[in-house]
Structures are given as C-alpha cells and as structure tokens.
Amino acid sequence: MAGTRTGEFKELISPFLKSKIASAAQQFGLHSQEVRALTRQYVKDPVEDVVQANSRRRHYESEVTLSFEGRPLMGIERMYRRTALIEPTTVCAAHCRWCTRAQYPIQTMQKDDIVHAARYFGSPGQCDDLDEILITGGDPLMSLPLLGHTVHSIREHAPNIQTIRIGSRVPFQDPRRINVDLLALFTAYPDVRFEIGCNVNHPVEFWPESVEAIRKLQDIGVRVYNQNPLLKGVNDDLQTLMDLYGLLRQNRIEAHYLFHAIPLRGMSHHRTSIAKGLDLANKISSCGEFSGRAKPRYTVLSDIGKVVLYEGSIIDRRESDNAVLLKSGYQLQDRMRWNPAWEKPDSAIVENDGTMMVWYLDGTDEPVAEEAVDSLYHAVSAGR
Ligand code: SF4
C-alpha cells in the first residue's frame, strides 16, 4: 500500500518488475544505467531512514477535511476549482520510493464514503464548479470492484462530471491487469472522457507488455498522459529525457508535467536542484530532437499546489535552509471558497492582489552516493 502505518514505507516490487530488473541486468549489465533507473525507483535505500530537520510527510497542506451534510468527506482533496481528487484505495502493485504519498496514512474508502463523495461532487454548491475528478490513491486499477463503484457513483450522483482521470502505474508495474473486464468498465460509460496518467520515468520501462497495455486503453478511446518526476540517477540527464519524451510521442502518450521531486521525508537523495531541472527543461524545450508536441511543463508541487516554473517564477532565495520563494496565481479567497476548511500554510505569503507566494525547499546536485547504488545492486542480484 502506498502510505504508512508505522512511519516505514515498505519495499514492494511486483513479480513483473522483478523479472524486468533481472532481464535488464542480463541485457545491459548489473551496473548499467538501465538497472540503476529501476532499482533507484523501487529498491529501498537505507538513506530513506535518515530524517532531516526540515523533512515533511505531506506534499500539500491539503489534508484539511471537507464536510458535506454534516459528515466529513473521507479520501477527498480539493485544491482547485474544476477538479477534485478521490482516493478509494492506497493499494499499489509496487512501491515507488519517491512516491508523494509514501508518508500518508493508509486508508481504504468504504462504499458509502464513495457515494457520499459522489453526492458532494454533484451537490448544488459544487456542480457549477466541478467538472473533473481525479481518481488516485494508491493505484485505482488494483481494485476493479472499487473503481467500478467509484465511477458508477460519480455517474449516478454527479452528472456534471465530464472527465474522470485515473492515476495509475499498473501498465508499467503489472500490465496484465489491463484486461477485458477493465476495458469493459471504460466502454460502459461512453459519455465520460477517461484519461489515465501513467507515470513512466525512463526509456527502459517501455516493455512490450506495457506498450501493449497502453495500446489497449488507447484503442477503446482512453487518453493516456504522463507526468514524471525528475529523479537523480534515473532521468536527470538530457539524453535520457530526450529518449523518454521521444518514446512517449511514438506511443501516443501526452507529456504533461515534468515534476521537480518533492521535499518529503526520505526523498532528498532523489532530488536535484531546481536549477538543474530548469536547465534540462530549457534544453529539451529547444533541442529539436523530438516532436514539439511532447514537451512537458516543468513544475513543482508546493504547499499551495502546482507551480509551473517560468521566467520570474522564482522571486527570492533563502540560503539558510536552501528554500526558494515562488510566485503563484492562486488566490487565497478562491482556495477558501473551494475548500472552506483549508488553512493557509506558514510557507505561504499573501500578496496585495490576493495571490499567494510560497516558500519551497530546493534539492541539491550532490552526486548519487556510490555505497547506496552498490546496496541497490546487491539487493537485485540477491533476487530480493
Ligand atoms: S504506484 Fe503511484 S501511489 Fe503507488 S507508490 Fe507508485 S507513485 Fe505512489
């Protein structure tokens, strides 16, 4: 399950991924960049247990619970006007070591919690604003009955919802789950626009089984897009990113966000500096090596929401804790309107025009520690 009960985010690698790591070791060599790209994503590194003073457990200050009809809405996040998020389950096929939800508490929604949420999405106070739901978790494709119940409840109680997005790494972690029953669920609702955010981070992950799973989804009209973090030692170099975005384009997967890896507990070894990401984003935006239709937006996940980095987005730097001050277009009064329980985090500052700026922890460009890399290789070669 993505998330933790004890503070420890357990290692979980699907049999499919284990077989692919072993094949990559045979094909490219145990110390290859391809094997490292997989082990750094999935094998637990001892440095995750090092807790730093500024470590945090959540990527947004959005856990403030909404209520509807006098009852708390479980498993719901609301940050934006048009989109709300629902997390039916925290189960995943594998645990990505850089997961935004690694430190979240584990929870599975009850069926009546899902109906309650769907009724909120379609209620008179919300239906004029909301038209899109993101189903995430965990991985919603891990429980077809729960996903079916969620989609059905949204259709029944919130006809204002036109787009249902699903965040899933199943095509790249356990692709046999993209089966006829799942495809039948999507085709049963022809008036809904289904989109899947698939999250592939390195060219080595374009395995034939995964490409076929993506193709099956696309063939029935599901749109597939990608949002990938920039991960140190995985994809933080120009050639890897150019190859990745070229493959996304070839496979009809829309490139959406390139995220700066988030400042969560146990994540610092995955995080580059913002400046390195900006340099790479600039280079891939004008390299001419792949289609201009496959260029992502370089974005940070700050305490107040996503901030796409443009010229002038970074307005100050604080050396004492390696933080940058980011300009956003988010209005405090809008946020309070969409989520009355939302509390402005201490990191946010309201400007005279009502928009918020936010302090965000930068990463570093220290090289990947070789001992850590060796321990990851050892774990793979031991068949763990
Ligand atoms: S599959 Fe998604 S939710 Fe699960 S651990 Fe990976 S990134 Fe997190």
Distance 358 CA to ligand 1 centre (A): 26
Looking at the DSSP bridge assignments, the partners of residue 229 are 259
- The reply to whether ligand 1 has any atom less than 6 angstroms from the CB of 171 is no
Per-residue CA distances from 316 to 155, 229, 313 (Å): 45, 23, 9
Does ligand 1 lie within 6 Å of residue 169's CB atom? yes
Best mutation site among 104, 169, 210 for ligand 1 pocket (most ligand atoms within 8 Å of CB)? 169
Q: What percent of the chain has pLDDT over 70?
A: 90
Ligand 1 centre and the CA of 196: distance in Å? 14
Q: What is the mean pLDDT of residues 306-332?
A: 94
Structure tokens of 323? 């933080």
CA distance 296 to 248: 11
Q: Listing from the earlier edge strand, what are the strands of the sheet with 163-167?
A: 76-77, 83-86, 132-135, 163-167, 193-197, 223-230, 254-260, 297-302, 305-308
Evaluate if residue 330 carries a pLDDT over 70. Answer: yes
Write the Ramachandran bin of 63: left for phi over 0, alpha for psi from -120 to 50, otherwise beta: alpha
Distance 191 CA to ligand 1 centre (A): 28
**In this predicted model, what pLDDT tens digit does every residue of 289-304 receive, in sequence order?**
888 899 999 999 999 9
- Angle in degrees, CA 145, 146, 150, rounded to 5: 120
Quick: pLDDT tens for 267-276: 889 999 999 9
Of the candidate ranges 5-19, 138-152, 249-263, the one whose mean pLDDT is the lowest: 5-19
Most confident listed range (204-218, 335-349, 369-383): 204-218
* Ligand 1 within 6 A of CB of 40: no
SS (H, E, C) 142-205: HCHHHHHHHHHHHHHHCCCCCEEEEECCHHHHCHHHCCHHHHHHHHCCCCCEEEEECCCCCHHH
CB 10 within 8 A of CB 95: yes
Give the nearest ligand 1 atom to 138 CA. Answer: 3
Q: Model confidence at 100, in pLDDT bands (50, 70, 90)? A: confident
Q: Does domain 15-381 have CATH number 3.40.50.2300?
A: no
Residues above pLDDT 90, as percent of the chain: 75
Which pair of tokens denotes residue 201?
């981070």
Q: Determine the residue type at 182.
A: L
pLDDT for the residue numbered 380: 64
Distance 99 CA to ligand 1 centre (A): 6
Q: How far apart are CA 384 and CA 382, in angstroms?
A: 6
Atom index in ligand 1 nearest the CA of residue 136 equals: 3
In this predicted structure, the answer to whether residue 374 has a pLDDT above a threshold of 70 is: no
User: Could you read off the pLDDT of 151-199 as tens digits, one per residue?
Assistant: 999 999 999 999 999 999 999 999 999 999 999 999 999 999 999 999 9
Q: What is the pLDDT of residues 60-83, one digit of tens each?
A: 655 567 899 999 998 898 889 999
Give residue 307's identity as a one-letter amino acid code: V
The answer to whether the CB of 59 is under 6 A from ligand 1 is no
Ligand 1 pocket test, pick from 92, 168, 196, 226 with the greatest ligand atom count within 8 Å of Cβ, gives 92
Q: Given this model, what pLDDT does residue 143 score?
A: 95
CA 204 to chain centroid: 19
Ligand 1 near 97 CB (within 6 A): no
Q: Which of 139, 201, 231, 262 to mutate to test the pocket of ligand 1 (most atoms within 8 A of CB)?
A: 139
91 close to ligand 1 (CB < 6 Angstrom): no
Predicted confidence band at 108 (pLDDT cuts at 50, 70, 90)? confident
Question: Atom 3, ligand 1: which residue's CA is nearest?
Answer: 138
How high is the pLDDT of residue 81? 93
Mean pLDDT over each residue of the chain, to the nearest integer: 91
Which pLDDT value is given to residue 367?
A: 84
Q: How confident is the model over 74-96, as a mean pLDDT?
A: 93
Mean local confidence (pLDDT), 246-261: 97
Residue 208 is predicted with a pLDDT of 98
CA gap 268, 233 in Å, rounded: 12
3-class secondary structure, 48: helix
- As beta bridge partners, residue 259 has 229, 299
- Ligand 1 neighbourhood includes 99 CB (under 6 angstroms): yes
pLDDT in tens, 114-154: 999 999 999 999 999 999 999 998 999 999 999 999 999 99
Segment 209-240, tens digit of pLDDT: 999 999 999 999 999 999 999 999 999 999 99
Identify each DSSP E strand in the chain by its residue range.
67-68, 71-72, 76-77, 83-86, 132-135, 163-167, 193-197, 223-230, 254-260, 297-302, 305-308, 314-318, 323-331, 348-350, 355-361
Does ligand 1 lie within 6 Å of residue 137's CB atom?
A: yes
138 lines ligand 1 (CB under 6 A): yes
Which of 334, 342, 355 is CA-nearest to residue 129?
334
Answer yes or no: is the C-beta of 96 below 6 A from any ligand 1 atom: yes
pTM value > 0.85: yes
pLDDT of residue 288: 86
Structure confidence by residue, pLDDT tens digits, 30-61 = 999 999 999 999 999 988 887 766 666 666 65
Quick one: which of 73, 14, 97 has its CA closest to 372? 97
Residues 6 or more apart whose Cβ sits within 8 Å of residue 216: 178, 183
